[in-house]
Amino acid sequence: MQCCNQLSPHEQRLQDKIEGKVDRYRATHERVFTILESFDNTRPRIDVERAKYFTESMKATEGQPLPLRWAKALMHIAENMTVYIDDHQLICGRAGYQGRYGVLYPELDGDFLGTAIEDLPNRAESPFAITPEDARVVVEEIAPFWKGKTYHEALNLALPADVHKLTYDDPQGLMSRFIVNETSSFRSSIQWVHDYEKVLKRGFRSIKEEALEKIAALDPMSPCDNVEKRPFLEAIVIVCDAIILWAKRHAKLAAELAAKETDPTRKRELETMAEICAWVPENPARTFHEAVQAQWFTQVFSRIEQKTGTIVSNGRMDQYFWPFYEKDLAEGRITEDSALELLECMWVGMAQYVDLYISPTGGAFNEGYAHWEAVTIGGQTPEGRDATNDLTYLFLKSKREFPLHYPDLAARIHSRSPERYLWEVAETIKDGSGFPKLINDEEVVPLYVSKGATFAEALDYAVSGCTEARMPNRDTYTSGGAYINFAAALEMVLYNGKMLKYGDTDLGAHTGDPCEFKTWEEFWNAYVTQHHLFLKTAFVQQHIINNLRARHFAQPMGSSLHDLCMKHCLDLHTPQIPEGINLGYFEYMGFGTVVDSLSAIKKLVFEDKKLTMGELIEALKCNFEGKEDIQQLLKSAPCYGNNDDYADSIARDIDALSVKYGRRYSPELGMHNDVRYVPFTSHVPFGRVVSATPNGRKAWSALSDGSSASHGADVNGPTAILQSNFNSKNYGMRDRAARMLNIKFTPKCVEGEEGSQKLVSFIRTFCDLKLWHVQFNVINKETLLAAQRDPEKYRNLIVRIAGYSAYFVDLSPDLQNDLIARTGHDVM
C-alpha cells in the first residue's frame, strides 16, 4: 500500500530549511541555534594540546605507579592547556580547539600516529583537519616517545598465533580480520557513567580531603599501604587539585572577558560564569546553573583523562539535577525556558567534541563521527517507585524542539510507567530524529540482581553507550569486549574452515565437506564446532586483555568518583576490585543472517530436499549471478523476525551455545562475559568479509544488525519482531546482556493520535516481553534516497543507526544503503 508522502516533523523542518523558511522553534532557542550554526557542517579539527602535555609529563615519570603518573599528566595539562569561553555560551569548558574538534590519545595509537596523521584530512570516512605546526608536533614530539609502549603493540605481540590469525589481518595488528575483532585497542575503556551526583553534592575538595584523611591513616610501616595505597591516594589528591585549578582558570578568563565586554547582558553573563567557575566543581553546587556547570566540567575533564568508548555517558540527569531545578524554580532564580537553555548549551558543547578514531578498524566501527553521551531519563527510584518528574519532560521537549543528535537520550520504561510519560516518549519518537531509545527495567533490574547487585543498586541503573546499563558505584568492568562475526563461522562450515575473502588461509576448524553431510544434525554440529572455536578465541583474547590493560591505562578522576575504588585504594582499571561486579560481554554479529541461513539449509536441503548442498554452494560462490531462482528459493525459507517458531527455535539454540559457554568459562576470567547483540555499525565492515550467504544475502553486503531481522526478512509487522526476540532468548539462565533492536516506521504508520496510541501499546508489549532495548527510525524511504542524491540540501537529516543517531550525509554509501534497505513498516 503505497502511502501518500506523509512527512515526519523532522522531515518537514528539513523541507522548510530547503525552502529557506526560518525554523519554527528558532525564536525560543535563539542562543543555541546561533552557537550551532557557528560550527555545523564545518570539518572537525585535530587538537594536539592534550596529547602534547600528556606525553611531556609521562616522559618525566617513567617507572612510577601508573595512576600517579596519569594524575601528574592531568595536572600538567590543566596547568598548560588553553582554556576557552565560546561566544554566546552560558557554560564553559572544552577539551580542545573551538568549533568541531577531535582529541588525540597517543597512549592508544601513538606508535602509528605519525603516519596516520598525514592521511586523516583526506580519508573517506570521518576526515579531520590539522594545521602543519600541529602535524609537526605530532610527528616530532609526540609519536616517537610512544613507539614500543602502546597497549595495542603489547596486545598484538601477546596474542597466541591461533588467536592472532582470527583477530588481525596483518602482523602489526592494525587491520582487523573482522572475524573475532577485539575492540579494547581503540579506547581506554568501554562506555561508562560517573557518579556526577557526588560532584554536585560534595565537590572535588571534599573528595580530596577524603583522600588526605586516608593517607594520614596509612600504616607507615606497612609495605602494602606504602606501595599500593599511598600512590593511589596521592593520585586522587593531585587529580582533584588539577580539575579545580582548570576550572579556576575559566573563572579568571570569564572575569577578564567581562571586564572588556561592552554589551551589558553579555557582561553580566560572563560575570556570573566567573563566580560559578570559581566555586564549582571545587565546592558543592548551590544552584541549577552551578550544578550544570559542575557536571559539564567533570564530563569534559573525563574526555581529557582518557578515551572512553562512546565517550562518557551522563547518568540520570533528571534525577540528580532535580533538587537544584525544583529549588531554583521555587525561589524564582530560574524558569523552565532558562533551564532548558542551559541544558542545550551543554548539548551544543557535546556536539563540538568529535570522537576521532585513528585506527582504521575503529573508524569503520563508528561511522558519522559517532559518539553518544547517553542521558538517562525516567525509570524507577532506588525504592522501586516511578522516577519521572518535570525535568524528565523537559529533556523530551528539548529533543522535539532543538533536534540535535546530542545527547543520545535514553528513556527507561517499566511496567508502571505513567501514561503521560509513554505518550510524550511516543510523540518524541514520532518526531523522526530517532530519540529516545528505550531501555526496559523489567529485563535489566532482575538480571542485575541475579548477577549480585542489590535491588536498590539495580533500580538506580543509568544507561551508558549504545544500550548498556551501569551501576555507578558497584560495577567495575572497563575492558572492551570481542565483536564476533558468526556469519564467518557459518561460511567456514560451507568451505571447511576457509572463507572466499581470505582465499586459502586456514582460518576456522576443519569440519569437513558439507556436501558429505547426510543429516541436518551433522551440519548443525559443524556450525557448533566453528561457533565454539570463535568463543574460545574471544575468551582467550579477553583473558590476555584483562591482565594487560592495567599496565597501560589508569583513570584517577574516574576512580575518585567510585566508592569501591576509594574504599580499596585501587584504580578503576584494576582487573579485580573487591565487592565490584565485572559486567563484561562479547558481541554476536549477524544473528538474523545466520538464523535465516541455517533455517534455509535445514528446510530446503535436508527436509524438503528442494536443493542439494552442492547446488547451494555453487550458487553462493557465483554470488547468485544467473542463479536468481535459487536466491529467491532461499529467501522463501522461514526467517527470524516473523514470530515463526521454525526459525526462532534455531535462533534460541544459537543463543544457548553462547549463554552456556559464558556460564562455563566466565569464572576463569573473574567476570561475567555474557553474550550481547549490540553492533555499533560493525555489521557493515563485518559484511564486507562474508561472501553470499544461504539466506539469499549478496556477497560483501551488510549483515543483519544487533537482534533485528535481516533486511526485508521481517514481513509479519513490527510486533512479530518483538515476539521473535522474546522467542530467541534463554530466560532460564542469567548469562546474557543487552540486545539492540532497530525498528523503522513510515511517518504514515504512526500518524496522528491513533498513531501515538498504537506506538504506546507497542512500547507496553516491548516492556511485557522483557526485551532489553528498542529504538525507532520514523522516516520515508524517499527522503533517504533524496538525501543520497542531494547531500548538501539534507545536511541536517538525522537518522537512527545503532545506539546513536548521526547526520545521514556523514555516513558511508554502504551504511546509507543498509538504512534504506531496512523494512519500513507502514502498518503496526
List, by residue number, the catalytic residues.
466, 468
Nearest CB to a copy of itself, comparing residues 498 and 532? 532
Q: Which residues 628-667 are close enough to bind a copy of itself by CB under 8 A?
A: 661, 664-665
Tell me how far, at minimum, the Cβ of 225 lies from a copy of itself, in Å: 8
Q: Among 598, 669, 684, 722, which residue interacts with a copy of itself (rule: CB under 8 A)?
A: 669
220 binds a copy of itself (CB under 8 A): yes
592: nearest Cα among 675, 530, 654: 654
Tell me how far, at minimum, the Cβ of 590 lies from a copy of itself, in Å: 21
DSSP 597: H
Tell me how far, at minimum, the Cβ of 554 lies from a copy of itself, in Å: 15
Quick check: helix, strand or coil at residue 499?
coil
Tell me how far, at minimum, the Cβ of 603 lies from a copy of itself, in Å: 30
Cross-strand partners of 587: 483, 676
Q: Which residues 62-81 are close enough to bind a copy of itself by CB under 8 A?
A: 62-64
41 binds a copy of itself (CB under 8 A): no
Backbone angles phi, psi at 587, to 5 degrees: -100, 130
Nearest CB to a copy of itself, comparing residues 7 and 544? 544
157 binds a copy of itself (CB under 8 A): yes
Nearest CB to a copy of itself, comparing residues 209 and 653? 653
Specify binding-site residues: 187, 191, 466-468, 676
Q: List, as own/partner pairs, every contact residues 615-620 make where C-beta atoms lie below 8 angstroms and the sequence separation is at least 24, other chains included.
A: 616/694, 617/494, 617/514, 617/515, 619/692, 620/494, 620/691, 620/692, 620/693, 620/694
Cell for 634? 532461499
626 binds a copy of itself (CB under 8 A): no
Q: How far is CA 693 from CA 324, 439, 450, 756, in A?
A: 56, 32, 38, 38
Distance CA 408, CA 438 (A): 11
436: nearest Cα among 427, 444, 425: 425
Q: Which stretch binds a copy of itself (CB under 8 A): 220-228, 642-650, 722-730, 748-756?
A: 220-228
Contact indicator for 489, 498 with CB cutoff of 8 Å:
no
- Give the angle 482-487-489 at the CA atoms, nearest 5°: 75
216 binds a copy of itself (CB under 8 A): no
Nearest CB to a copy of itself, comparing residues 339 and 583? 583
Is 800 buried (19+), middle (13-18) or exposed (0-12) by CB count in 10 A? Answer: buried
217 binds a copy of itself (CB under 8 A): no
Q: Which residues 334-353 are close enough to bind a copy of itself by CB under 8 A?
A: none
Cell for 369? 563521527
Q: Among 231, 281, 379, 803, which residue interacts with a copy of itself (rule: CB under 8 A)?
A: 231
Tell me how far, at minimum, the Cβ of 69 lies from a copy of itself, in Å: 11
Nearest CB to a copy of itself, comparing residues 157 and 245? 157
166 binds a copy of itself (CB under 8 A): no
Nearest CB to a copy of itself, comparing residues 231 and 281? 231
647: nearest Cα among 689, 594, 696: 594
Specify binding-site residues for 2-hydroxyethane-1-sulfonate: 187, 191, 466-468, 676
Cell for 313? 555517558
Distance CA 506, CA 498 (A): 6
Contact indicator for 793, 807 with CB cutoff of 8 Å:
no
- Give the angle 311-743-778 at the CA atoms, nearest 5°: 90
Nearest CB to a copy of itself, comparing residues 359 and 542? 542
SS3 letters for 676-736? EECCCCCHHHHHCCCCCECCCECCCCCCCCCCCCCCCCCCCCHHHHHHHHHHCCCCCCCCE
221 binds a copy of itself (CB under 8 A): yes
Cross-strand partners of 386: 380
Distance CA 127, CA 146 (A): 24
- What DSSP string describes 180-225? EEE-GGGSSB---B--HHHHHHT-HHHHHHHHHHHHHTS-TT-HHI
Number of residues that bind a copy of itself (CB under 8 A): 31
Nearest CB to a copy of itself, comparing residues 661 and 680? 661
Distance CA 746, CA 8 (A): 8
Tell me how far, at minimum, the Cβ of 71 lies from a copy of itself, in Å: 15
536 binds a copy of itself (CB under 8 A): yes
Tell me how far, at minimum, the Cβ of 155 lies from a copy of itself, in Å: 9
Q: Among 115, 131, 222, 576, which residue interacts with a copy of itself (rule: CB under 8 A)?
A: 222
Q: Which residues 766-795 are close enough to bind a copy of itself by CB under 8 A?
A: none
Q: Where are the beta strands (DSSP E) in 448-534?
A: 462-464, 468-470, 482-485
193: nearest Cα among 320, 311, 344, 323: 311
Nearest CB to a copy of itself, comparing residues 160 and 614? 160
527 binds a copy of itself (CB under 8 A): no
223 binds a copy of itself (CB under 8 A): yes
Tell me how far, at minimum, the Cβ of 108 lies from a copy of itself, in Å: 18
732 binds a copy of itself (CB under 8 A): no
Q: Which stretch binds a copy of itself (CB under 8 A): 182-190, 205-213, 532-540, 750-758?
A: 532-540
Q: Among 127, 144, 160, 578, which residue interacts with a copy of itself (rule: CB under 8 A)?
A: 160
158 binds a copy of itself (CB under 8 A): yes
Quick check: helix, strand or coil at residue 816?
helix
Q: Which stretch binds a copy of itself (CB under 8 A): 58-66, 616-624, 692-700, 795-803?
A: 58-66
204: nearest Cα among 566, 463, 567: 566
Alpha helices in 505-644 (DSSP H): 520-549, 556-560, 563-568, 591-600, 613-621, 628-635
Nearest CB to a copy of itself, comparing residues 226 and 636? 226
Tell me how far, at minimum, the Cβ of 452 lies from a copy of itself, in Å: 21
Tell me how far, at minimum, the Cβ of 148 lies from a copy of itself, in Å: 8
- Write out the H or E segment, with its range, that includes residue 538: helix 520-549
Cross-strand partners of 485: 589
Contact indicator for 200, 284 with CB cutoff of 8 Å:
yes
Contact indicator for 325, 318 with CB cutoff of 8 Å:
no
419 binds a copy of itself (CB under 8 A): no
Nearest CB to a copy of itself, comparing residues 56 and 228? 228
DSSP 702: P
Q: Which stretch binds a copy of itself (CB under 8 A): 106-114, 156-164, 238-246, 803-811?
A: 156-164
227 binds a copy of itself (CB under 8 A): yes
599 binds a copy of itself (CB under 8 A): no
Contact indicator for 581, 451 with CB cutoff of 8 Å:
yes
Tell me how far, at minimum, the Cβ of 685 lies from a copy of itself, in Å: 26
Q: Among 139, 154, 449, 500, which residue interacts with a copy of itself (rule: CB under 8 A)?
A: 154
224 binds a copy of itself (CB under 8 A): yes
Q: Which residues bind a copy of itself (CB under 8 A)?
A: 62-64, 154, 156-158, 160, 220-224, 226-228, 230-231, 532, 535-536, 539-540, 542-544, 661, 664-665, 668-669
